[in-house]
Structure 1
Amino acid sequence: MRIRYYIVLFLGLLSQVAFSQNVRFTASVSKTQVGTGEPFEITFSVNAEGASFVPPPLRGFEVVAGPNVSTSMTSINGNSSTSTAYSYDLVAPQTGEFVIEPASIVVGGKRYTTAPIKIKVVKGAPVQQNARSGSSQGSGADDLQQVSSGDIGKSLFIKAIVSKPSVYQGEQLTLTYRLYTRLGIEANQLDKMPDFNGFWNEDIKSKTPYVQWRTEVYKGQAYRVADIKQVILFPEHSGDISIEPMAMTFVVQQPVPTEDFMEQFFGNNVREVKYQAKSNKVTLHVKPLPEVGKPADFGGAVGHFTVNASLDKKELKSSEQLNYKVTVSGAGNLMLMQAPNAIFPADFEKFDPKVTDSLSENANGVSGYRTYSYLLIPRHQGNPTIEPVKFSYFNPETGRYQTIATPSFSVKVNKGPTENNVTAYADDEQDITRTEKDIRNIKTDDVDLSKVGQGFFGSIWYYVLLLLGPLLFGAAYAYRKWYEQYNSDIVKVKSRKASRIAAKHLVNAQKQLNAGNSKAFYEAVFRGLYGYLSNKLNIPVADLNRENIVAGLRARQVQEPLINQLVHTLDLCEMARYAPVSGIAENEVFNQSKTIIHDIEDSL
């Protein structure tokens, strides 16, 4: 046994040594000698799944862009590996020799550091050896014209950037689609937006109707940059989840070489070119929530939260209303978590809570609070206690579950006007007292009696009503059986309700159309059609995409022209939600959507 123990110990130590030897965390720079004001890039790369990345202080340099995080995964003969790179674009404002201190990251519970890097900064920008003769290295708006023809892909592209390459299930992260361009843009159109299958997503609404442009240096070149869309994602399951690219079509001004001095002087040597750009495909590693230490009352909350409770009164009479509120505040998946388990005294009549949200979405995620309002009615006098409400959540930073609780509340319930000397809550056992009002004396004199058949008792109506009870009971029983059978098939129930749900969205679309809110109008029409198709075709919203919709309608023998009309309307609404469209009458879109739903109902 002792020999076996040492063998196992030795193999464990050997595996740890092998793992630590395979981990490489390095730092590299594009240049070790730069001029003042000349941008260069530093990259920190790790060939494993890391956490808690800590960059160096970067003293003596200005960060003009970053951190830009990129993750790649490879699989060779069934062996998968992950590598992550954190890059910064830096500029040195002063000459001298500077040292970039080590960065650090945690891999497998062990912290790794990079080697320091020396950078020599000289006065002015040195001439690059591979620069074309006669070309200038400018920056800003003037540098945007220094683009050779046929090089659009390097001068205009979209990057999909995630705030975290690895998250827990239910943990929020931000996905940003960032446009880089060194060309003038005349027009744009959204071609395809990812479906975000496997995620609950919330769009970050811009405070301004126009994108905010800025200038950034990327790989030594100056670009005009704008964040064209930001989405908050909540992974619904663990594993590696991929997000397909976003596609847009642009009409750009491409420089054309010319020897005409007048065209060069007035800047007319450009031509308009149509170009489609696609973002990079993003793969996220989603870790499952640990089973170790999971509380029994865990309701799926992931993030950072606090909880507190309040009562509108602490003394009242029986049968009066009491309002009890539980508020969960913080940042995380507030809209997806279950209500806390609140336990009230047995003599309290309680109703389902009213849920009120006050949430905000920004680049840091979803934050705010959710309030559960309970209406309680104590039925008897006494001194009951409302026990604390426990709330459990998972903290992704610590990787552990945490349980917090509200304070308890003592309530004094006085005797109400409808309560008859019954004390449900008492410190000592008491007998129920009898008063002279409980049982009144039986009056025996002047009693007016009647024979059977002369009054209601024993009459024909008496027997009719006597038989009516069993008949109504039988009818109610038969109706209940029919109702249960009629609603036993969930698919059919959802299909029957599909048109009513779509009608609610279309009513909202009509309101937005009358108010002149174009974006909200297309959003309502899009949600109405998607909600209708999800219920009608029995396809979960998370799996609802163009391919599944077309396949579901074809399987139900819907005509191809109607399917094409539906797909065209969905594409139009999808495009109008993210980019303005012109030349389309919104009234026609609204009437066409109602006609499509009506025709599908007739076809099915």
Structure 2
Amino acid sequence: MRTSLKSIVLLIIGIFVSTSLCGQDIQVKASAPNQVGVGQSFRLTYTSNERISSVDVPKTNAFTLLSGPQTSSSSSMQIINGQMTSNSTYSWTYIMQADKEGTFDIPGAIVNIKGKGVRSNSVRIQVIASSSQQTQQGNNQRQSTQNQTFDKNDFFIKANVSNTNPYVEEQVIIQYKLYLGPQAQRYQASIRKLPSSTGFWTYDLNDKEAEPARTTETINGKKYTVMDLYAVAVFPQKTGKLSISPLEVQTIVQVVMQQQQRSNNPWDVFFNDPFFGGGRVQNIELELKSNPVTLNVKELPKNKPADFSGLVGNFTMKASLSRNKLSTDNATNFSITISGNGNLQHIEAPEITFPSDFDVHEPNIMDNIQKGANGVSGSRTFEYVIIPRNPGAFVIPQAFFSYYDKTKKQYVSLSTDEISLKVEKGKGQAGQYYSSSNKKNVQIIGTDIRYIKTTDTQLKTKHNAFFLTPLYWLLLFLPFIGFVLFVILLRKQIENKKNIAKIKDKKASKLARKRLLKAEKYMKSGNNEQFYIEISQALWGYISDKFHIPLVELSLDTTRRKLEERNLKPELIDECMNVLNQCEYERFAPASDTTAQMLYDMSFRFITAIENEIKKM
């Protein structure tokens, strides 16, 4: 009995101890410098012995989150006395910036590990006055002991614009190039802030998988290494002077410093020459900005064609029919393809008057867009499904499309050829057919003549009179009641259609969720480029429709102002801005490690939070 009781007690103690040890397995530690200067960037790192799924970084008024997270992992293995042990470390690093002077605490973050939230320790950081003067003094001291060949002015970013006086909807290519002076050995650059603008439709021209192009250029006798850093195609949407903010880049440059040491040994002078690899290697951090870009957008010439598309470029158009002979129980596909260089996503379906004997569905739009150093080109195809209802010979009329050709300095009108379609009678319709245009009456062949009935017929008198009964009065006034209700509903529908903003407001959430579902399909298929495009269009389209902001005026500043005018909570506004920033960062900055699933979840929570907050107001 005592043995059994002792075994039970030991088993309970063992379970308790093992449970306690399991609870202590997961460890999370936050680390950061104890002291930084105002305006100085630093690393905030969260480290754990288990794989981290996500980190909820707390927001503070004293620090600004610049970028991140950057994830890394390491593992080690030891064998001692025949026993093997392994340790793994997982880190998530964020780049922060100190905004004001003082001593501040960054609260513990919630780190998600294996589906559980583990809180890290808090971090206390002392922010002192800007250390630029101290850094300058240190540089002066180093300059007194060595002859530096480093010149900060030899490192800069230049924005090259293909055309500074474009027309509305004319393609303008902006290439941002990084110039490295002759003293640079290696470099590392990360985009800190992308250019922002209002009044443009933009396309990202960067190939995230390709290595940046590298060339050399001589300026004022100095030979520079030139790197293609970033490229974008913009299409101005309105006339006037439009500006694009600079591109901001954080760069670490490795240069060779020649030591200023006098020696009587001639070999020291020989091998100290930088040409032979002499001198001391130093890493210098630089924050570079490109020149801002200003475009003077001109209005297109007058005498525009009636069917003018509003586009500028060079296009071609063709039409095709999947088959020009079929029966009434089949369908055919009619396609119109417009190809060329220009803003392809602004091409709308040409107006075509199909024969009234056709059932035609809304066109399916397919884009084939190529983006590269020469800008945006490709094609947009409109595919119609045509179902003929009657047999006969039909003609699909011409389609028209016009644009402005800057090279020819004139408007160009394109048209397709007429296409003939022969429709035969389908199976199972030998005895009847109809025409939607009332060209022929419905025919019933073989049953339109009936024989005289020769058998005895017994007639009965019907005693129930229908006249003046309640049913009689109901049927009499029912058309008038229906007409009044129809007029009321029609007027209400007309008023609702006039209020376009109200319609867009109601449909904003529905349209955004449809785009999110489409983005999810791209994410599961591994098509990241289309995924980021759909996520971006879902978020910006939702904001445009929900808060009545025209597409040409969309920007982060406009969005914040509209959210504040709706008296939303400051925390929600900050979270919304973070989601939009993260979305744009993921779309244009290939260095980020945020997963597509995280970005999808953030976007879904963003729309849901806005909808819930507006419903409470």
Interval containing the TM-score (normalised by the shorter chain): 0.5 to 0.7
- How many angstroms does 1:397 deviate by? 0.3
Partner in structure 2 of residue 533 of structure 1: 543
- Greater shift, 583-592 or 172-181, is seen at 583-592
Distance 1:582 1:174 in 2: 25
Partner in structure 1 of residue 293 of structure 2: 282
Offset from partner CA, 1:307-357 (integer Å, 9 cap, x none): 222233333445653433222232223321232232334444433333222
Partners of 1:519 and 1:576 within 8 A in 2: no
Q: Which residue identity is paired with 2:318? A: N
Distance 1:383 1:424 in 2: 16
Partner in structure 1 of residue 172 of structure 2: 173
Secondary structure, counterpart of 2:301 in structure 1: coil
Distance 2:572 2:441 in 1: 77
Are 1:160 and 2:159 matched, yes or no?
Answer: yes
Q: 1:210 to 1:461 in 2, by over 3 A?
A: farther
- How many angstroms does 1:554 deviate by? 1.5
Distance 1:382 1:246 in 2: 62
Partners of 2:148 and 2:258 within 8 A in 1: no
Partner in structure 2 of residue 495 of structure 1: 505
Partner in structure 2 of residue 14 of structure 1: none
Offset from partner CA, 1:354-385 (integer Å, 9 cap, x none): 32222212222222222222333444444333
Q: Which residue identity is paired with 1:204? A: L
Q: 1:598 to 1:424 in 2, by over 3 A?
A: closer
Distance 1:303 1:473 in 2: 52
Q: 1:296 to 1:275 in 2, by over 3 A?
A: same
- How many angstroms does 1:545 deviate by? 1.5
Aligned partner of 2:558 among 548, 552, 556: 548
- How many angstroms does 1:486 deviate by? 5.7
Are 1:304 and 2:314 matched, yes or no?
Answer: yes
Q: 1:291 to 1:522 in 2, by over 3 A?
A: closer
- Structure 1 segment 117-128 matched on structure 2, within 5 A: none
Q: 1:323 to 1:547 in 2, by over 3 A?
A: closer
Partners of 1:194 and 1:246 within 8 A in 2: yes
Q: Which residue identity is paired with 2:508? A: A
- Structure 1 segment 269-418 matched on structure 2, within 5 A: 269-292=280-303, 294-318=304-328, 320-415=330-425, 417=429
Secondary structure, counterpart of 1:383 in structure 2: strand
Offset from partner CA, 1:237-257 (integer Å, 9 cap, x none): 333433222112223335555
Distance 1:485 1:423 in 2: 35
Q: 1:320 to 1:288 in 2, by over 3 A?
A: same
Offset from partner CA, 1:183-236 (integer Å, 9 cap, x none): 356543323222342222111241625423333334432222221222122222
Q: 1:189 to 1:495 in 2, by over 3 A?
A: farther
Distance 1:192 1:562 in 2: 23
- How many angstroms does 1:278 deviate by? 1.3
Distance 1:148 1:467 in 2: 99
Secondary structure, counterpart of 1:330 in structure 2: strand
- How many angstroms does 1:522 deviate by? 6.0
Secondary structure, counterpart of 2:577 in structure 1: helix
- How many angstroms does 1:389 deviate by? 2.9
- Greater shift, 301-310 or 266-275, is seen at 266-275
Q: Which residue identity is paired with 2:227? A: A
Partner in structure 2 of residue 110 of structure 1: none
Q: Which residue identity is paired with 1:176? A: Q
Q: Which residue identity is paired with 2:539? A: L
Offset from partner CA, 1:279-301 (integer Å, 9 cap, x none): 11222333322223x32222224
- Structure 1 segment 1-400 matched on structure 2, within 5 A: 148-149=149-150, 151-152=151-152, 154-182=153-181, 183-184=184-185, 187-206=188-207, 208-253=209-254, 255-256=256-257, 258-259=259-260, 269-292=280-303, 294-318=304-328, 320-400=330-410
Secondary structure, counterpart of 1:224 in structure 2: strand
Distance 1:595 1:412 in 2: 53
Offset from partner CA, 1:430-471 (integer Å, 9 cap, x none): 9999965433345464557666589x9999999999998887
- Greater shift, 558-567 or 444-453, is seen at 444-453
Secondary structure, counterpart of 1:500 in structure 2: helix
- How many angstroms does 1:473 deviate by? 7.2
List gaps (5 residues or longer) in structure 2: 1-146, 262-267
Q: Which residue identity is paired with 1:500? A: K
Partners of 2:197 and 2:555 within 8 A in 1: no
Q: 1:443 to 1:559 in 2, by over 3 A?
A: same
Q: Which residue identity is paired with 2:337? A: T
Distance 2:532 2:401 in 1: 39
Q: 1:592 to 1:253 in 2, by over 3 A?
A: same
Q: Which residue identity is paired with 1:360? A: Q
- How many angstroms does 1:266 deviate by? 5.9
Offset from partner CA, 1:139-180 (integer Å, 9 cap, x none): xxxxxxx9734x22x222111112233333222232211111
- How many angstroms does 1:271 deviate by? 3.6
Partner in structure 2 of residue 100 of structure 1: none
Task: Supply the RMSD in Å over aligned alpha carbons.
Answer: 4.4
Q: 1:601 to 1:278 in 2, by over 3 A?
A: same
The percentage of counterpart residues that share the same residue type is: 34
- How many angstroms does 1:408 deviate by? 2.4
Distance 1:494 1:545 in 2: 19
Q: Which residue identity is paired with 1:554? A: E
Secondary structure, counterpart of 1:533 in structure 2: helix
- How many angstroms does 1:399 deviate by? 0.7
Q: 1:441 to 1:178 in 2, by over 3 A?
A: farther
TM-score by length of 2: 0.61
Distance 1:170 1:253 in 2: 43
- How many angstroms does 1:488 deviate by? 5.2
Secondary structure, counterpart of 2:308 in structure 1: coil
Q: Which residue identity is paired with 2:160? A: I
Distance 2:527 2:324 in 1: 47
Partners of 2:258 and 2:279 within 8 A in 1: no
Partners of 1:199 and 1:542 within 8 A in 2: yes
Q: May I ask how many residue pairs the two structures share in their alignment?
A: 453
Partners of 1:253 and 1:271 within 8 A in 2: yes
- Greater shift, 410-419 or 533-542, is seen at 410-419
Q: 1:407 to 1:595 in 2, by over 3 A?
A: closer
Q: 1:188 to 1:526 in 2, by over 3 A?
A: farther
Partners of 1:525 and 1:573 within 8 A in 2: yes
Offset from partner CA, 1:463-519 (integer Å, 9 cap, x none): 999998887777676666656556653333333333334434544665677678877
Q: 1:516 to 1:460 in 2, by over 3 A?
A: same
Secondary structure, counterpart of 2:169 in structure 1: coil
Secondary structure, counterpart of 2:557 in structure 1: helix
Q: 1:304 to 1:569 in 2, by over 3 A?
A: closer
Partners of 2:240 and 2:297 within 8 A in 1: yes
- Greater shift, 543-552 or 568-577, is seen at 568-577
- Greater shift, 476-485 or 533-542, is seen at 476-485
Partners of 1:391 and 1:403 within 8 A in 2: yes
Q: Which residue identity is paired with 2:164? A: P
Distance 1:188 1:587 in 2: 27
Partners of 2:217 and 2:226 within 8 A in 1: yes
Q: 1:527 to 1:191 in 2, by over 3 A?
A: farther
- Greater shift, 204-213 or 410-419, is seen at 410-419
Offset from partner CA, 1:26-71 (integer Å, 9 cap, x none): xxxxxxxxxxxxxxxxxxxxxxxxxxxxxxxxxxxxxxxxxxxxxx
Q: Which residue identity is paired with 1:197? A: T
Distance 1:439 1:296 in 2: 56
- Greater shift, 368-377 or 274-283, is seen at 368-377
